[in-house]
């Protein structure tokens, strides 16, 4: 008989509980997507508790998911002490995410699914990764495109040499480089299949680059496997949220934020027999797997088989590190910046912490 896992959520607002209510079509998201509904729908998982300092958040969460008041906690530390938790989601502001993840790892949870960005500084991210490793806790960061069926299948095609070697990846997505930029940088890293060695960066302005707030920017990334990549986090026009992967024998392009995909393969023929690029039908999945369920399955597999989640704490940290390195390159007048970044106190104040004294769900309703 399969093991049953007890799940809980810290931060009972939009991503913790109600985000799926805002979604009325697919694209890069297939429901259930956010944390509570994914646990509720997952076989072999019981959603048993939640924590949030805001009374209304706890009340809505408890009524929505059938959690009794005795298992709804104002202080997450009380929940970690009183509840036996296997799978824990951390959906709070990034301002306090690092400490919560560390406390949870020490409290004996088996896997943590944390929102992005991983943290505000590299030092915070380092401590999260190290603490989870020390306590044998699988840490996943919710840069969810890695679990999208199009990207997963395209990556498999690359690994099985259907498209040849990756030459270049280009990612387009207007965003703050820390907040939604974590999605953009991470999916470029995933498709490139290596680690970033150095970058050049251009930020939206000298003034923005001089500060610590989240900012838009563009960059050139050099990977240790020879792949080169461009990221455009400034306005992208009609190409917003597209990913283009050039390979020696093929090409994959995700269009319109995951709503379509193009596949091109090199076929025999053409001038001097060098081959002809021919568009092929992309092998769409027989059914669209839920993004959230796919992540929960990956977390359980990480517990049972000892592998890192598809987007691990290390991956989340590198997304933040690349963003910081791009900004540092601009600060240095466009110079090359090598990774790892030596100053681990470096950070970016993610856009998602703005006005975080009021829950994001409430701000959205008010706005």
Cα gap 151→157, rounded to integer Å:
10
- By CB neighbour count within 10 A (0-12 exposed, 13-18 middle, 19+ buried), where does 320 fall? buried
* Residue 229, domain member (yes or no): yes
Q: Is there a single domain that holds both residue 111 and residue 219?
A: no
DSSP state of 349: B
The whole-model pTM stands at 0.96
* Residue 45, domain member (yes or no): yes
Token pair, residue 263, equals 């596949």
Q: Is there a single domain that holds both residue 197 and residue 327?
A: yes
Question: For residue 261, what is the domain's CATH number?
Answer: 3.30.360.10
Q: DSSP 3-state assignment of 97?
A: helix
Domain that holds residue 150: 146-286+318-338
Q: Is there a single domain that holds both residue 197 and residue 223?
A: yes
Q: Is there a single domain that holds both residue 304 and residue 279?
A: no
Q: Is there a single domain that holds both residue 199 and residue 327?
A: yes
Strand partners, 138: 111
* Residue 350, domain member (yes or no): no
* Residue 113, domain member (yes or no): yes
Q: Is there a single domain that holds both residue 123 and residue 50?
A: yes
How many domains does the chain divide into? Answer: 2
* Residue 354, domain member (yes or no): no
Q: Is there a single domain that holds both residue 96 and residue 118?
A: yes
Q: Is there a single domain that holds both residue 117 and residue 194?
A: no
Cα gap 71→251, rounded to integer Å:
50
* Residue 90, domain member (yes or no): yes
Q: Is there a single domain that holds both residue 150 and residue 140?
A: no
Q: Is there a single domain that holds both residue 162 and residue 92?
A: no
Q: Is there a single domain that holds both residue 121 and residue 170?
A: no
Question: For residue 27, what is the domain's CATH number?
Answer: 3.40.50.720
- pLDDT per residue, tens digit, the chain (367 aa), is 467 999 999 999 999 999 999 888 777 788 999 999 999 999 999 999 999 999 999 999 999 999 999 999 999 999 999 999 999 999 999 999 999 999 999 999 999 999 999 999 999 999 999 999 999 999 999 999 999 999 999 999 999 999 999 999 999 999 999 999 999 999 999 999 999 999 999 999 999 999 999 999 999 999 999 999 999 999 999 999 999 999 999 999 999 998 899 999 998 887 877 889 999 999 888 887 899 999 999 999 999 999 999 999 999 999 999 999 999 999 999 999 999 999 999 999 999 998 888 888 888 888 7
Q: Using an 8 Å Cβ cutoff, are 36 and 9 in contact?
A: yes
* Residue 345, domain member (yes or no): no
* Residue 154, domain member (yes or no): yes
Q: For 285-295, b where at least 16 C-beta lie within 10 A, e where not — what string?
A: eeeeebbbbbb
Sign, CA dihedral 15-359-112-225, equals positive
Q: For 220-258, b where at least 16 C-beta lie within 10 A, e where not — what string?
A: bbbbeeebebbbbbbeeeeeebbbbbbbeebbbbbeebb
Q: Are strands 250-255 and 260-267 parallel, antiparallel or unpaired?
A: antiparallel
Q: Is there a single domain that holds both residue 102 and residue 204?
A: no
């Amino acid at each position: 008989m399969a093991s049953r896992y007890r799940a809980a959520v810290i931060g009972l607002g939009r991503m913790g509980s109600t985000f799926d209510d805002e979604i009325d079509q697919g694209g890069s998201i297939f429901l259930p997507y956010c944390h509570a509904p994914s646990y509720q729908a997952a076989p072999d998982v019981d959603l048993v508790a939640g924590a949030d300092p805001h009374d209304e958040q706890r009340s809505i969460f408890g009524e929505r998911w059938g959690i009794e008041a005795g298992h709804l906690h104002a202080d997450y530390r009380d929940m970690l002490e009183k509840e036996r938790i296997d799978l824990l989601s951390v959906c709070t502001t990034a301002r306090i995410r690092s400490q919560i993840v560390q406390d949870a790892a020490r409290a004996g949870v088996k896997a943590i699914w944390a929102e992005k960005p991983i943290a505000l500084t590299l030092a915070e991210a380092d401590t999260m990764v190290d603490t989870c490793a020390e306590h044998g806790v699988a840490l996943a960061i919710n840069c969810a495109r890695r679990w999208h069926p199009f990207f997963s299948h395209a990556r498999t095609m690359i690994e099985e040499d259907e498209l040849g070697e990756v030459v270049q990846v280009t990612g387009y997505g207007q965003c703050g480089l820390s907040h939604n930029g974590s999605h953009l940088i991470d999916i470029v890293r995933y498709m490139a299949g290596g680690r970033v060695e150095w970058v050049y960066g251009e930020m939206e302005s000298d003034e923005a680059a001089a500060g610590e707030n989240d900012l838009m920017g563009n960059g050139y990334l050099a990977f240790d496997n020879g792949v080169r990549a461009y990221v455009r986090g400034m306005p992208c026009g009609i190409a917003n949220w597209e990913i283009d992967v050039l390979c020696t024998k093929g090409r994959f392009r995700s269009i319109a934020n995951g709503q379509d995909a193009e596949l091109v393969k090199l076929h025999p023929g053409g001038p001097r027999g060098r081959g002809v690029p021919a568009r092929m039908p992309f092998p769409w999945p027989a059914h669209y797997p839920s993004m959230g369920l796919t992540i929960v399955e990956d977390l359980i597999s990480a517990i049972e088989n000892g592998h890192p989640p598809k987007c691990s704490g290390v991956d989340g940290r590198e997304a933040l590190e690349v963003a910081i390195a791009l900004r540092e390159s601009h600060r240095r007048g466009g110079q090359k910046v090598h990774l790892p970044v030596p100053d681990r106190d470096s950070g970016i104040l993610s856009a998602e912490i703005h006005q975080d004294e009021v829950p994001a769900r409430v701000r959205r309703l008010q706005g």
